[in-house]
Chain A
Amino acid sequence: MYWAASCGGCEISVLNIGDKLLDVDAAYDVAFWPVAADFKYDDVRGYPDGYIDVCLYNGAVRNSENEEMAHLLRQKSKVLVAFGSCAYEGCIPALANLTTKEAIFRSVYQDNPSIDNPDGVFPQPVSEVPEGVLHIPEFYETVKSLDQVVPVDYTIPGCPPEPEQIWAVLEAVTAALTAGAELPPAGSIVGAGTVAVCEECSLEKNEKTIERFYRPYEITPEPELCLLEQGILCMGPATRGGCGALCPQVGMGCRGCYGPLDDVEDQGAKMLSAIASVVDVGAPDEEEAELEEKIAAAMDTLADPAGTFYRFSMSKSLLQRARPDGGRPTGGRPTGGRPAE
């Protein structure tokens, strides 16, 4: 199991399978697991190709080290699993795709109030020191998912994946390796449902007509009632189930961590579409300019649409990242309406 650009929650989620760990231990030897056991990259380089039965790669590909390990582990593993949302679709690290490497470096190494860096020293991939030449990984402009770098056999979505789902997958793989059971077709998303989170959510759902959005601190949700109906953004309609709808059922809108449903290319666009459909502001008989203003005001109550809709899926979205130059700032003309005469 390898920890790339991620928070480490996926590593912990594996421990959440509890005493099933003993079964895992009985079936497998750990070949490489930096967070839990002392292995070096050179150990992996020393293995013959395909030596590792199952590799759980968690984390996105953010720098040259992550990428190098992705290639190495692909070569050494029979089954490479993108484990968790970061490896699957970029997740929180990929929100950095909304900005640039330069801006990140500037805020981390220069502008943060706690930083004192008068000489403007920034990390360099290669630097000379009296003892010799130091090489550190290169920080990339764009965060990628694992499957954008190497071919991936299976994907387990989730931030982090739920323990029952992890165990179900490990059990299936173990059965295949030891008893010759059949593996799911390569490329599958495993350990998740095929219907939306809403299907698993027990909250009461009615016709949705909302006039504005509330951020979580602005409202105390009614228990038992669909959060989206109350104006709390919930990604349930556009998110793959399999988690048991844990978040919405305790009053926190779905964040969208299980990613898009089958046959959906862009989770954020689907969610945007769903959200826009439940906003019930503006009627056909209103004057065109007024109509637009009213709708824009309602949509303005939704803070940070790109970060919300692509919280987990930025790397796999259609546009994948923001333009590094930010586009040309424009004065803005009114949307729609009659073309100027």
Chain B
Amino acid sequence: MSEQYEPVIVGFLCNWCSYRAADLAGTSRLHYAPNMRPIRVMCTARIEPQFVLKALRDGADGVLIAGCHPGECHYVEGNIKALRRHILLKQMLRQLGVEEERVQIVWASASEGNLLAQAVDRMTEELRDLGPLRWKQTVLSGNGHGKPASVAPTAVAEEV
């Protein structure tokens, strides 16, 4: 309990820009928060809303989607489609009580390792402020029927 709460971010990075940005951040030996678990996808348009919801349900505190800048998509406008989904998904998540800092989209080209690193740093701090999400424990607990045991978002600090 004494340890500082470390948010878990699931990162979906596009193969052509942002995964390479992450590579660059690594090879440039940039120091940034180790909280993102990167997953490479071919394009941000591959990311189904189901992926994001599943990550949130199964223990992630936030989801970061990173792809090429608009106009630079390897598949012409996959990232625009991803942005459309993302905006609608955020509107829906607001109704479900998920803060908008928890699901973010950023654009980082292959040469922008520093931007990606900054985005991860910034998001980690934002999630630290918000506290853990712990969807299964706080929202679906108590047999799913009763009042959840604890709904205070900042009550628990533990390594997930």
**A binding-site residues for B, Cβ under 8 Å:** 67, 98, 101, 140-142, 144, 148, 265-266, 268-270, 272-273, 275-277, 279, 281-286, 288, 291-292, 295-296, 299-300, 302, 304-307, 309, 317-328, 330, 332-333, 335-341
**B binding-site residues for A, Cβ under 8 Å:** 48-50, 53-54, 56-57, 69-73, 76-77, 79-81, 83-92, 94-101, 104-108, 115-116, 118-119, 122, 130, 135, 138-140, 142, 144-148, 151-153
Query: B87 and A335: CB pair below 8 A?
Result: yes
Give the distance in Å from the alpha carbon of A67 to the alpha carbon of B146 in the complex.
13
Cβ-defined partner of B144 (8 Å) among A98, A144, A282, A340: A144
Query: B80 and A283: CB pair below 8 A?
Result: yes
Residues of A within 8 A of B49 (CB): 266, 269-270, 272-273
Query: A292 and B95: CB pair below 8 A?
Result: no
Query: A323 and B50: CB pair below 8 A?
Result: no
Kindly provide the distance from the CB of A149 to the nearest chain B CB, expressed in whole angstroms.
Answer: 9
Residues of B within 8 A of A266 (CB): 49-50, 53
Residues of A within 8 A of B140 (CB): 142, 320-321
Query: A284 and B73: CB pair below 8 A?
Result: yes
Instruction: Knowing A323-B138, A330-B100, say if A141 contacts B92 (CB, 8 Å).
Output: no
Give the distance in Å from the alpha carbon of A296 to the alpha carbon of B87 in the complex.
6
Give the residue among A302, A327, A328, A340 with the most B Cβ atoms within 10 A. A327
Instruction: Knowing A140-B145, A286-B70, say if A323 contacts B97 (CB, 8 Å).
Output: yes
The 16 sampled A-B contact pairs (Cβ below 8 Å) are A270-B48, A276-B84, A277-B84, A285-B70, A291-B80, A295-B83, A319-B56, A320-B140, A320-B144, A321-B96, A321-B140, A322-B139, A337-B106, A338-B106, A339-B108, A339-B116
When C-beta atoms are compared, the residue in chain B nearest to A264 turns out to be: B50
Give the distance in Å from the alpha carbon of A318 to the alpha carbon of B54 in the complex.
6
Residues of B within 8 A of A279 (CB): 84, 88
When C-beta atoms are compared, the residue in chain A nearest to B92 turns out to be: A305
Residues of A within 8 A of B92 (CB): 268, 272, 305-306, 309
Give the distance in Å from the alpha carbon of A209 to the alpha carbon of B129 in the complex.
40
Give the total number of A-B pairs whose CB atoms are below 8 A apart: 179
Query: B76 and A335: CB pair below 8 A?
Result: no
Query: B96 and A323: CB pair below 8 A?
Result: yes
When C-beta atoms are compared, the residue in chain A nearest to B95 turns out to be: A306
When C-beta atoms are compared, the residue in chain B nearest to A341 turns out to be: B118
Kindly provide the distance from the CB of B66 to the nearest chain A CB, expressed in whole angstroms.
Answer: 10
Query: B99 and A327: CB pair below 8 A?
Result: yes
- Not counting A273-B48, A318-B53, A333-B100, a sample of 15 additional A-B residue pairs whose C-beta atoms are within 8 angstroms of each other reads A141-B145, A269-B49, A272-B49, A273-B49, A284-B80, A285-B70, A299-B91, A306-B95, A318-B57, A321-B96, A322-B95, A322-B97, A336-B104, A336-B106, A337-B106
Give the distance in Å from the alpha carbon of A226 to the alpha carbon of B149 in the complex.
47
Give the distance in Å from the alpha carbon of A1 to the alpha carbon of B151 in the complex.
38
Residues of B within 8 A of A277 (CB): 81, 84-85
Give the distance in Å from the alpha carbon of A333 to the alpha carbon of B50 in the complex.
23
Query: B89 and A323: CB pair below 8 A?
Result: no
Give the distance in Å from the alpha carbon of A323 to the alpha carbon of B90 in the complex.
15
Query: A141 and B147: CB pair below 8 A?
Result: yes
Cβ-defined partner of A282 (8 Å) among B76, B84, B145: B84
Residues of B within 8 A of A273 (CB): 48-50, 85
Residues of B within 8 A of A283 (CB): 77, 80
Give the distance in Å from the alpha carbon of A39 to the alpha carbon of B94 in the complex.
45
Residues of A within 8 A of B106 (CB): 336-339
Residues of B within 8 A of A327 (CB): 94, 97-99, 153
Give the distance in Å from the alpha carbon of A49 to the alpha carbon of B151 in the complex.
40
Cβ-defined partner of B107 (8 Å) among A268, A281, A307, A338: A338
Query: A302 and B105: CB pair below 8 A?
Result: no
Instruction: Knowing A286-B70, A325-B97, say if A339 contacts B88 (CB, 8 Å).
Output: no
Kindly provide the distance from the CB of A12 to the nearest chain B CB, expressed in whole angstroms.
Answer: 28
Give the distance in Å from the alpha carbon of A273 to the alpha carbon of B77 in the complex.
15
Residues of A within 8 A of B115 (CB): 338-339
Instruction: Knowing A269-B49, A323-B96, say if A305 contacts B91 (CB, 8 Å).
Output: yes
Kindly provide the distance from the CB of B25 to the nearest chain A CB, expressed in whole angstroms.
Answer: 12
Query: A141 and B87: CB pair below 8 A?
Result: no
Give the distance in Å from the alpha carbon of A140 to the alpha carbon of B73 in the complex.
48
Kindly provide the distance from the CB of A277 to the nearest chain B CB, expressed in whole angstroms.
Answer: 6
Query: A323 and B139: CB pair below 8 A?
Result: yes
Residues of A within 8 A of B81 (CB): 276-277
Give the distance in Å from the alpha carbon of A272 to the alpha carbon of B135 in the complex.
21
